[in-house]
Structure 1
Amino acid sequence: MNLILKYCFFAIYIICTFNAECYTADQTKALINNLTTGYNKNIKPRYNQSELITVRITLDVISIQDFDEVKEVLAIVGYLHIRWYDDFLTWNPEDYGTISNTSIINDVLWKPPIILVNKVNKIENLMDSWQKVRVLHTGDVFYFPVGTHSVTCTPDITYYPFDSHTCYFNFSLWEYYETEVVLKPFTKEVLRTYYTANGAWDFLGSRVDKNLFGSLSFGLYLKRKPWFVLFNVIVPMTLMVFLNAFVFFIPAECGERISYGVTVVLAIAVFLTLVGENLPKTSSPMPIISFYLLALLITSILITAASIFSLRIYHQTSSENVTSFMYQIEKLCRSKSINWKQKKLKNETDLHNLKNNVQGSKKNHMERNVSKMDGSPPVSTILSDLHGRNKHLNFTNRDNTQSIEERPEEESSLNEKDSKDNTEGTWKDISVALDKMFFALFIVLFTVETVVFFAIVTLKP
C-alpha cells in the first residue's frame, strides 16, 4: 500500500512540474484582477502612444449561406482571426502557477475598431461581440469573432447559368489613422478550416488585397453549379420548342393544329416569367440566356403562324387558281421527294442485280465443271439456243400486238394525270409541301439557336 502511495505522489509531482496547466482558480482570479485593474480601454495599448500598432487579420469561411443575385447580396458564415500586441497585458507565468494564457471578456480591453464596409444592413463594430479574447503572457491578444456576414455583390450574369463571380469583404479600421493603427493580412488567401460545401455554388479560390486608407479586401471566387437550371429550365424549353415543330405532322382535317401551337407558346411564356424572377433586374449586362429564350419564343410563334398559313392554303377553294409561286414550291418539294425515292429504288435495284450476278456466276461455274467431266456442251448453251430460236419466230408478232394494245392505255393515263393536276387536290398538295418545308426550316433554325447559345456560354473567354 505504501508503494502505491509513493507512485501516486510521484505522478502528481511529475504532472505539476511538466504540465503548464497545473494551476488553481485563485491564481487565475488573481491574474485577471491584476491585468484589468486600472486598465483603460480608451487609450492605445502602448506605453509609447506614438508607436504604431499592427493588427493582423484574416477571414475563415465556414459555409456560403446564400447568394441572392436578384438582391445582389452574398451571405456567409465565418469568423475572423485577429491578432495584436498589448503592452499592458504581460506577466510572468511563474508568478501565477505557470499560467501562460487566459481568456478575458472583451468589454474591459482595448480592441481595434474593425468594421465591414460593404455590409448590407447596419454597419457595426465587429469587435463588440459576446466572445472573449485570448491573452498570452507575452502580450499577444487573439480574437475570433464569429457570425453571419452579408455584403453587397454585383453579379455578372452574362453567361448564366455558367456564370462565375468574385465577391469582396472589405474590412477597415475606424477612428484611427494609418500612422496609429494599421491592418495587415495573416495569409494571402481566405482560410477554409471548417468549410462545408454549398449545393448551388463552388468555392474556387480567394485573394487578399490591400486597398486605400488601410482597408483589406477578401475576395471569394464563386462558380454556379449549372445542373439545376439546365434540367429545370433550359432542357424543358428546348424540348417544348422541338415538340412544337411537329405540329406540321398533325393532319389538317383534325382541327387541333392551332390549339396545339398556342398551348406551347403559352408554356414558353410561363417559363420566361420564372426565369425572369430569378435574374437581377438590370440591363447591363443582359444574360445571354434571355436572348436565347426570347429566340425560342419567337421561333414558337413563327411555327404557329406558319401552321395557320398552311391551314389556309389547305382549305383554299378549287375555284381559285394556283399561283406560280405556290406551284413552284410544291414542284420543288415533290421533285426532292421523287429524287430521294428514285435514289432509294436505284440502290435497291443495284443490290438485287448484284445478287443475281453472283448467283449466275456460281451457276455457270458449276455447269462448266459438269461439261468438263462428261465432254457435253453446257446446259445453259443449249437452253439459250432454243430460247433464241423461239424468240426470233415470235418477236415481230408480239411486238406489234403489244404496241397496239398499250398505246391507248398510255394516252388515257396521261389524260387522267393532266386532269388530276387541275382538280381541287392541287391546293392540298401545296399545303402538304409547305408542311414539309416549314418542318425542315424550323428544325434547322432551332438547332442553330441551341448550338450557338451553348457555344457562347460554355466557351466564354
Structure 2
Amino acid sequence: MDLTSGYSSTDRPEKVTIISISFSIMSIDSLDVENEQFSVNGLFVVRWSDSRLTWTPSDYGDIHFQLMKESKIWVPAFIVDNSVNDLSVISDESVLVRANYEGIITWWPPGIYKSACDANIFYFPFDTQTCQISLTSYGYTTQEVDLNVFKDGIDLSLYQPNGEWLMLANETSIDTFTNAGLDFRRITFSFEMKRRPAFYGVFYILPILINSLLTVYTFALTPESGEKIAFCLTMMLSYTVLVTLLSEQLPSSGKISSVLTIYMAIVMVLCAIAVPLAIWVIDLFHRKDSEPIPKWQIQFTENVLLKIGCRKKKISRLNAVGAVKIKGDDEASPVTPVQVVYNDHVDLYTPLNWKDLASILDSVLFRVYFITVVLTTVIVFTRMVLNI
C-alpha cells in the first residue's frame, strides 16, 4: 500500500494545520544551577490530521495503520527556542511516523533537550527552580500552523525520579510572539523542582554552622593561653575555604545573592572584627598594675560592662566588731576601698585591675558574639527552610 504516490511532502495538509503537542518526560538529566542550564530526556508527542493519508481498511487487508519515514510525508518543523546547544529543527529519520486509516498522524521525536534556565539561588540549598522547554513552529505563522496542547501537556508515566531534584509541579502554556511583523505560536513546558538538601546539609550547612559557633569561642580563651588570635585567624581561613567551595555551586552572575552567602559574609565580618578585639583584650591583660586605669574606664566597666557580662564587683567581706574607722579625705592615698558598714560585717569593694578589665571584656564580647551569631543563624535558616 503506497499512500505517498503523488504526495507532496512540502505542502501542508490544510490551510491552517492544527497540531497537538505534549511532552513525555523520562528523566531530568541535570539542572546546572552554576551555568543556569536545564537538561531533560524525553520525547515530544506530535499529532495532526492529514486527509491525503486516509484509506478504507477493508480495501487493504484490514490494515488500520502504516509506519513511514518522516521524509516521505509533511511533518511540522519545530525548534526549541531556548536551547543552549543549537537551534536546529527537530528531526530524526530513524523515528518512524505512524498514520492511521483516518489520516491521524502521530510522531514521537526523542532527544536530550538542554535549555537555558533562569536560576533563583536566594534560598540555596533549600531552593525551588522553575525551568522550561519552549517549542516554536519554525517558519510557520499562526495563519499556517496552530498549536494546541495534547492531553495534559506533560506526561509523567515514563518519568524516573531524580536523585537531586524533586518534581513538584508542571504546567503547559501557549502564547504568541511577533518577529519581523509575523505572528508565531509557541508552546512552553514548565517544570517546578525542589532541591533535595540532604547532601548540602551534611557537606556545607553543618561545617558552616560549626565554624560560626566556634568563632564565638575566641573570647572564651584566656589571654594566658596565647591562642586567641591564632584561633580567630584559623576560623577565618576555614570560612574562606567554605566560601570557595560554595561559590563553585552558585552562578557567577550578580542578579541575586544566596541567603547563605549573605550569612557567611556576616560571620566572616564578625570574625575579622574579632581579631582587633582579641588584640585589645590581650593588650589590657598584659598591662602593668603600676599603670593607672582611667576613671571613665572604671566607671564604664562597673556601670555597663559588668551588667552585660553578668558579673559582680569584687567584694571582700570581713566580720565587723565594734567601731569601724573610715579613712578621711585629708589622708593621702592613691586608691582607697569603699567601705559599707552593716550591723555585723564590712564589705570591701576591691578596685579593678587590668586583668579584671580584660576578663570582663572577654565575658561581654563572648555574650555579644554568641547572641549575634545565634540570632543571625535562626533568622537566616528559618528564611531558607521556609522560603520566606
**TM-score range with shorter-chain normalisation?**
0.7 to 0.9
- In structure 2, what is the equivalent of residue 349 of structure 1? none
Aligned amino acid, residue 440 of structure 1? R
CA contact (8 A) 1:129 1:145 kept: no
Distance 1:331 1:86 in 2: 93
Alignment of 1:110-149 (within 5 A): 110-149=74-113
Give 5+ residue unaligned stretches, structure 2: 177-183, 326-334, 339-347
TM-score by length of 2: 0.84
Distance 2:38 2:371 in 1: 41
Aligned amino acid, residue 38 of structure 1? G
CA contact (8 A) 2:311 2:360 kept: no
- In structure 2, what is the equivalent of residue 218 of structure 1? 189
Name which of 7, 10, 24 aligns with 1:60.
Answer: 24
Aligned amino acid, residue 223 of structure 1? K
- Residues 363-399 of structure 1, C-alpha deviations (whole Å, 9 max, x = no match): xxxxxxxxxxxxxxxxxxxxxxxxxxxxxxxxxxxxx
- In structure 1, what is the equivalent of residue 169 of structure 2? 205
Partner SS state of residue 148, structure 2: strand
CA contact (8 A) 1:83 1:142 kept: yes
Name which of 147, 156, 169 aligns with 1:183.
Answer: 147
Q: Which of the two has greater helix per residue?
A: 1
Name which of 303, 311, 317 aligns with 1:337.
Answer: 311
Name which of 417, 426, 442 aligns with 2:353.
Answer: 426
Alignment of 1:89-168 (within 5 A): 89-168=53-132
Give 5+ residue unaligned stretches, structure 1: 1-30, 342-401, 409-414
CA contact (8 A) 1:303 1:442 kept: no
- Residues 325-361 of structure 1, C-alpha deviations (whole Å, 9 max, x = no match): 432354355574349x9xxxxxxxxxxxxxxxxxxxx
CA contact (8 A) 1:111 1:127 kept: no
- In structure 1, what is the equivalent of residue 375 of structure 2? 448
- In structure 2, what is the equivalent of residue 286 of structure 1? 257
Partner SS state of residue 302, structure 1: helix
Aligned amino acid, residue 441 of structure 1? V
The structure having more radius of gyration, on CA atoms, is 1
Alignment of 1:342-381 (within 5 A): none
Structure 1 residues 334 and 287, CA, compared in 2 at 3 Å: closer, same or farther? closer
Aligned amino acid, residue 439 of structure 1? F
Distance 1:118 1:210 in 2: 15
Instruction: Please state if 1:76 is matched with 2:6.
Output: no
Distance 1:172 1:60 in 2: 17
Structure 1 residues 180 and 311, CA, compared in 2 at 3 Å: closer, same or farther? same
Aligned amino acid, residue 274 of structure 1? L
Instruction: Please state if 1:327 is matched with 2:291.
Output: no
Structure 1 residues 209 and 175, CA, compared in 2 at 3 Å: closer, same or farther? same
- In structure 1, what is the equivalent of residue 9 of structure 2? 41
Deviation at 1:102, TM superposition (A): 2.3
Partner SS state of residue 87, structure 1: strand
Partner SS state of residue 76, structure 2: coil
Aligned amino acid, residue 114 of structure 2? S
Distance 1:277 1:447 in 2: 27
Distance 2:53 2:259 in 1: 59
Instruction: Please state if 1:253 is matched with 2:253.
Output: no
Aligned amino acid, residue 270 of structure 2? T
- Residues 145-184 of structure 1, C-alpha deviations (whole Å, 9 max, x = no match): 1110011111122222222222221111122222222111
CA contact (8 A) 1:313 1:428 kept: yes
Distance 1:75 1:136 in 2: 33
CA contact (8 A) 2:69 2:93 kept: no
TM-score by length of 1: 0.71
Aligned amino acid, residue 82 of structure 1? V
Deviation at 1:443, TM superposition (A): 0.1
- Residues 70-100 of structure 1, C-alpha deviations (whole Å, 9 max, x = no match): 2111000011111111222222222332221
Aligned amino acid, residue 191 of structure 2? L
Name which of 224, 239, 246 aligns with 1:275.
Answer: 246
Distance 2:102 2:355 in 1: 98
Aligned amino acid, residue 90 of structure 1? T
Q: Which of the two has greater strand per residue?
A: 2
Structure 1 residues 37 and 316, CA, compared in 2 at 3 Å: closer, same or farther? same
CA contact (8 A) 2:27 2:40 kept: yes
The alignment-based identity, stated in percent, is 25
Partner SS state of residue 155, structure 2: coil
- In structure 2, what is the equivalent of residue 317 of structure 1? 288
- In structure 1, what is the equivalent of residue 211 of structure 2? 240
Cα root mean square deviation, aligned: 2.6
Aligned amino acid, residue 36 of structure 1? T
CA contact (8 A) 2:21 2:153 kept: no
CA contact (8 A) 1:206 1:220 kept: yes
Name which of 264, 269, 273 aligns with 1:302.
Answer: 273
Deviation at 1:129, TM superposition (A): 4.0
- In structure 2, what is the equivalent of residue 388 of structure 1? none
Aligned amino acid, residue 452 of structure 1? I
CA contact (8 A) 1:56 1:185 kept: yes
